[in-house]
Amino acid sequence: MPLRLRLRATVATALTALTLAGCSPSPSPEERREPDTSARLAATLDSPVDITLCWKDDEPGVAGRTVEFATEKAGPYTVLEFMPPGRTTYRHPDLMPETPFYYRLRPYFGPASTAVEVSLPPGEPSEQELTDNQEWMTPRTVESAKVRATPLTARGAGGTDANAAGAPTDFAATVKHATGIHFTWSDRAAGEDGHLLEVRQAGSEGYRPVALLDPDINSFGLITLPEEKRASYRVRAFVYGEQSNVVHLTTGSDPGT
């Protein structure tokens, strides 16, 4: 099943002694092993139950990063947000008191399709539109003419241009009703970790992911939000890069008790 993504908004430990604005990490011996990424994550407790993460953004060719957390160092980790390049902070508020939290970043790399503009009809879909065949919404792989697939790489040889031939092509949007859009594309990537459907709503500056799809998917239907009546969409094939260091904080007592 696809993940419909939403942007949401003790002593810190980290792998390096790097000090970032608002965060002062202090590495423990067991966490000094360096991952193969330039991202260095740090964290502070703003209050007993609010944590702010920050990092330095100097890794070339990154399409974005995931911010992930777990309550045990070995995981499982849950994605909090797919972050656009250039973002260097994340706030995780209103956490469970007296609980360990572990955080890490994972960069992702990969090319996006050409964007398409979509304008939806005003209002809401009719009862019939909501009860008619909804197969168009199901993420699936539609067989099409064979295309040459390009293996995607994370920080691979040749820089960002190495992945360019793996960009999805023939990206198209079909309006199904007042809140529904059916997207199709040709998948030209090999070895991808998945696809991200991205949106830039009218008046906003950049794209943000709205749906996370499995590898090889090339057909998907989106139910939009009210602010997405007029928007630009594109789809991105991607692979994950090397994760950052893991930072650990334990929340304090609930200030409200």
Which tokens sit at 106?
A: 């994972």
**pLDDT classification of 30: cutoffs 50, 70, 90:** very low
pLDDT for 11: 27
Residue-averaged pLDDT of the chain: 84
Q: What angle do CA 221, 130, 208 make, to 5 degrees?
A: 30
Is 130 inside any structural domain?
yes
**Cα 185 to Cα 197: distance, rounded to the nearest angstrom:** 11
**Cα 244 to Cα 59: distance, rounded to the nearest angstrom:** 11
Q: Are residues 135 and 145 in the same domain?
A: yes
Tell me the pLDDT tens digit for each residue of 119-133: 999 999 999 998 888
Q: Is residue 199 scored above 90 in pLDDT?
A: yes
Please count the structural domains in the chain.
2
Report the amino acid identity of residue 82: F
Is 256 inside any structural domain?
no
The pTM is what?
0.81
Report the amino acid identity of residue 170: D
Q: Are residues 61 and 155 in the same domain?
A: no
Q: Are residues 142 and 232 in the same domain?
A: yes
Q: Are residues 12 and 30 in the same domain?
A: yes
Is 257 inside any structural domain?
no
Q: Are residues 131 and 102 in the same domain?
A: no
Tell me whether strands 116-119 and 100-109 are parallel, antiparallel or unpaired.
unpaired
pLDDT for 226: 94
Is 64 inside any structural domain?
yes
pLDDT for 40: 87
Count the Cβ atoms, other than its own, within 10 Å of residue 124: 12
Tell me the pLDDT tens digit for each residue of 77-127: 999 999 988 889 999 999 999 999 999 999 999 999 999 999 999 999 999
**pLDDT classification of 2: cutoffs 50, 70, 90:** low
8 A C-beta contact, residue 67 and residue 90: yes
Q: How far apart are the first and last CA of the chain?
A: 39
Q: Are residues 121 and 232 in the same domain?
A: yes
CATH number of the domain encompassing residue 170: 2.60.40.10
Is 16 inside any structural domain?
yes
Q: Are residues 87 and 120 in the same domain?
A: no
Q: Is residue 171 scored above 80 in pLDDT?
A: yes
Q: What are φ and ψ of residue 228, in 5° steps?
A: -105, 20
Which has more confidence, 153 or 254?
153
pLDDT for 9: 31
Is 41 inside any structural domain?
yes
Count the Cβ atoms, other than its own, within 10 Å of residue 106: 21
Range of the domain at 99: 3-109+241-250
Q: Are residues 77 and 157 in the same domain?
A: no
pLDDT for 25: 44
Total H helices, total E strands in the chain: 1, 17
Average pLDDT in the 212-222 region?
96
Q: Residue 22 in 3-state DSSP?
A: coil
